[in-house]
Chains A and B, each alone.
Chain A
Amino acid sequence: MSNKISWLFLMIQLIAGSIFLMRGLDKYIRPDYNIREFAGLQLSPSIMTVVAVFEVLGGAAIILGVGVRWWAGLFAMIMAGAVVTIGINTSFIGGYDFPLTMFALCILMFAAGNNNFSFYKLLFAKKQLSQQG
Chain B
Amino acid sequence: MDKNSEWALLIGRFILGAVVTAHGLAKLFSFTRVLDTFEQLGIPPVFTAGMIFIEVFGGVALLLGVGVRVAAFFISTIMIGATLFDLSLGLIAGFEFPLTVLGLSVLYIFIPCHLGIYHIRLFSNFQLLIMKRTTKLLNQFNKYRMRRRAA
For residue A35, CB closer than 8 A to chain B, the reply is: no
Which residue from A8, A18, A98 sits with its C-beta under 8 Å from B110? A8
Per DSSP, chain A at the interface is helix
Contact indicator A22/B92 (Cβ below 8 Å): yes
For residue A50, CB closer than 8 A to chain B, the reply is: no
Per DSSP, chain B at the interface is helix
**Distance (Å) between the CB of A98 and the closest chain B CB?**
5
With A5-B111, A92-B22, A100-B19 as contacts: A11 and B103 at CB distance below 8 Å: yes
Contact with A along B90-109 (1 / 0, CB 8 A): 01100011011111101100
Contact indicator B12/A107 (Cβ below 8 Å): yes
For residue B82, CB closer than 8 A to chain A, the reply is: no
Which residue from B8, B91, B100 sits with its C-beta under 8 Å from A110? B8
CA distance A23 to B23 in the complex (A): 23
CA distance A97 to B23 in the complex (A): 9
Contact indicator B5/A112 (Cβ below 8 Å): yes
With A93-B23, A111-B4 as contacts: A101 and B15 at CB distance below 8 Å: yes
- Chain A: residues with CB nearer than 8 A to chain B? 1, 4-5, 8, 11-12, 15-16, 18-19, 22-23, 26, 92-93, 97-98, 100-105, 107-108, 110-112
Supplied contacts A5-B1, A100-B19, A108-B8, 16 more A-B pairs, CB within 8 Å: A4-B110, A8-B106, A11-B103, A12-B107, A19-B91, A23-B92, A93-B26, A97-B23, A98-B96, A101-B101, A102-B100, A105-B100, A105-B103, A108-B104, A111-B4, A111-B7
